[in-house]
Amino acid sequence: MTDTSGTSDTSAAPHKAGAFDIRNIIGALMGIYGVILVLAGLLGEHEPDKTGGVNANLWTGLALIVVAAVFIGWARLRPIVVPEGFDRPDDDPTRPAPQRKRPPTH
């Protein structure tokens, strides 16, 4: 699906993006939200007069868990491979914060 995947077999030690692959981050946040909303739907107040009788927290929670599973599954099946020696990002030069301390590149 992505331009960087699919060629991993050629290099000796492919370095996967792993936990910080953006799809895993999306999956983690959606998953946490899903679980909390399911719990809120099962254990919390139901408030049917607001939602017109639907247990909205429960259903949204379940949907979010499915979304999370899709993203984490996608990241597992087609991992993004971090190539050797890509350009490191520049810190935003105008941001009023300590600059990132990075070892000089070779």
Which residue type sits at 54?
V
**For 81, phi and psi rounded to 5 degrees?**
-100, 130
Considering only residues 50-89, where is the footprint of other proteins by CB under 8 A? 50-52, 54, 56-57, 59-60, 63-64, 67, 80, 82-83, 86-89
92 CB-side CA count, 13 A: 4
Chain residues that interact with other proteins, rule: CB under 8 A: 1-4, 15, 17-22, 25-26, 28-30, 32-33, 36-37, 40-41, 44-47, 50-52, 54, 56-57, 59-60, 63-64, 67, 80, 82-83, 86-102
